[in-house]
Amino acid sequence: MGKPFFIGLGALLVLMGAVWTLQGLGYVGGSFMSGNTTWAIIGPIVVITGLALAVWAARRKT
């Protein structure tokens, strides 16, 4: 699996984590996650993981 795959996966995780955070904080409605603080905690963890994965992949030599 190449560098673009991991960068794309990292970007997807960042986007997903941001949506989960906004849902957990109650800014995005229409889901069982809306207003649930558990998702406001999980979301930023997923964002950080996605950022770390994308940075790692971008710095990778091959």
Q: Which residues contact 17 (CB under 8 A, 6 or more apart)?
A: 42, 43, 44, 45, 46, 47, 48, 49, 50
Type of residue at 7: I
Please give the Cα distance from 43 to 34 (Å, whole number). 12
Which pLDDT belongs to residue 23? 94
Average pLDDT for runs of 10 along the chain of length 62: 92 97 90 88 97 94 74
Q: Which residues contact 23 (CB under 8 A, 6 or more apart)?
A: 29, 31, 33, 34, 36, 39, 43
Which pLDDT belongs to residue 34? 86
